Amino acid sequence: MSDAYVVQVGGQTAGIVVRDTAAETFSFFAATHRFNVLEGQQFAEPYAAERAARQLIARRDPVLMPELRRAPL
């Protein structure tokens, strides 16, 4: 398993997650201000960070990202 992953939502880079081996989690680092609320959060797996980013965008931009509101998480 890799130590870092890019998190993308709707073709946009939300940030990266980096493995924290001491805590056995992944730390999120935002790529843009739209995802700053997730900055520094710990996730059990990379997909959990992607899911959180999708939920954030679906709440903030329902008109711009309607497909994310209907996407199963």
Question: Looking at the predicted structure, is the pLDDT value of residue 7 above 70?
Answer: yes
b/e 14-43 (16+ beta carbons within 10 angstroms → b): bbbbebeeeeebbbbbbbeebbeebeebeb
Where are the domains positioned within the chain?
A: 4-70
Grade residue 69 by pLDDT with cuts at 50, 70 and 90. very low
Report which of residues 25 and 72 the model is more confident about: 25
Q: Chain-centre distance of CA 73, in angstroms?
A: 12
Whose tokens are 């680092």? That residue is 29
> What's the pLDDT tens digit per position in 24-68?
999 999 999 999 999 999 999 999 999 999 999 888 765 555 554
